Amino acid sequence: MDDLDKLESDLRGEIDAAQDLRALDDARIAALGKKGRVSLMMRELGQMDPEQRKQAGQALNALRQRLEDAVTARRQALEEAHLNERLATERADVSLPVRPRAQGGVHPVSQVMEEIAVIFSEMGFVVREGPDIEDDFHNFTALNFPPDHPARETHDTFFLEETDKDGNPLVLRTHTSPVQVRTMLNQKPPIRIIAQGRTYRCDSDQTHTPMFHQTEGLVIDKATNMGHLKGCLMEFISAYFERDVEVRFRPHHFPFTEPSAEMDVRYERAGDEIRIGQGEDWMEIVGCGMVHPNVIANCGLDPKEYQGFAFGFGVDRLAMLKYGMPDLRDFFAADSRWLKHYNFPALIQPNLATGLS
């Protein structure tokens, strides 16, 4: 206790000599830690008489405070020196060009699928999905395709080497209709769904690609009729093109619906532009019909109790008609210029209140 001045000088020398924060912390612990030199001296106060304890305690507390102030001052000096060093070395070259903004956006196919989902969700439909690889039952048999139907041939369908449990080859689904089959097999009516996703067929030209996108709809209950189907599709087309669109229905044939129809929209061509909703020409845009009783029975439902309607259309083709893309193959060409021209802002979600697009 007699030589506090020398002790203070030694400890301050160690503090001032610290060249970084780690060395400073070591010096602080050596002086003021639980086993530090000042702390050990304060433990000796209990062995002194009251008068000595009072004087020595005051001196040690004052020493502790001066050392803590010295540690704080040295820490500030070291931090300031470190900051100045960083400022001197980490310089920004303001003459360099700025970093370009991100150029990403929503692909037209994704945009149109979202627009379709928004419209049908307002009608009470829910979106369902299914696997891209299907078996013969879900892709053909359950949908009333006869054994000799052309769709079962390799010139129309991509067959895989793998087979199902019955030995039939698996296929890349030719439509999203298997999602309808899976829904009827697993859900009790009433059913009101749309199925969206990739489909595959052996076809490639300006308006066909081996892989494309479809949206199909299915309604199953006890009182659905052709009038409901027509009203649903007329409402959808007008909402999608965001204008009044005149349509007509023509008899057609599909294995999975009876009666079947195709819905045409009125349009005109002006140069390379196609204007939907005006003109004197007609364009087929949707296939539809009442679900065939055989399909309902194949899915475990009683066709005498339940009936419904189904429809389907190509998402890529709807995108071409609405947004003026002349060639379907460009959708999959990965041309950054095309994508930059036709993409959509990612943060603007389609909705019927402010407009789909």
Taking the chain, what is the end-to-end CA distance rounded to the nearest angstrom? Answer: 85
pLDDT in tens, the chain (357 residues): 557 778 778 888 888 888 888 888 888 888 888 787 887 787 777 778 787 777 777 887 887 888 888 888 888 988 898 888 888 888 777 787 777 776 678 899 999 999 999 999 999 999 999 999 999 899 998 998 888 777 777 667 888 888 888 788 899 999 999 999 999 999 999 999 999 999 998 877 666 788 899 999 999 999 999 999 999 999 999 999 998 899 999 999 999 999 999 999 999 988 778 888 888 899 999 999 999 999 999 999 999 999 999 999 999 999 999 988 888 888 888 888 888 888 888 877 888 777 776
How far apart CA 146 and CA 152 sit, in angstroms, is 9
CA angle 291, 295, 298 (to 5 degrees): 155
Name which of 272, 259, 326 is nearest 108 in CA terms: 326
pLDDT value at residue 217: 96
What confidence score (pLDDT) does residue 183 get?
95
Residue 129 pLDDT = 93
**Per-residue pLDDT at 261:** 96
Task: Determine if residue 271 is left, alpha or beta; phi over 0 gives left, psi from -120 to 50 gives alpha, anything else beta.
Answer: left
| Amino acid at residue number 321 | L
- Residue 135: how many CB atoms within 10 A of its CB? 21
Q: What burial class does residue 71 get, using C-beta atoms within 10 Å of its C-beta: 0-12 exposed, 13-18 middle, 19+ buried? A: buried
What is the model's pLDDT at position 22? 87
Q: What is the residue whose two structure tokens read 């050990």?
A: 40
Length of the chain: 357
Nearest to 180 by CA among 157, 156, 197: 197
What are 196's strand-pairing partners?
Answer: 215
Are the C-beta atoms of residues 139 and 255 closer than 8 Å to each other? no
- What whole-number distance in Å separates Cα of residue 349 and Cα of residue 239? 16
What pLDDT, on a 0 to 100 scale, did the predictor assign at position 154?
Answer: 62
Residue 66: per-residue pLDDT: 85
Q: What does the pLDDT read at residue 8?
A: 78
Predicted pLDDT at 166:
79
Q: Which residues of 306-342 are buried (b: 16+ CB within 10 A; e: fewer)?
A: bbbbbbbbbbbbbbbbbeebeebebbeeeeeeebeeb
Cβ atoms of 194 and 216 closer than 8 Å: yes
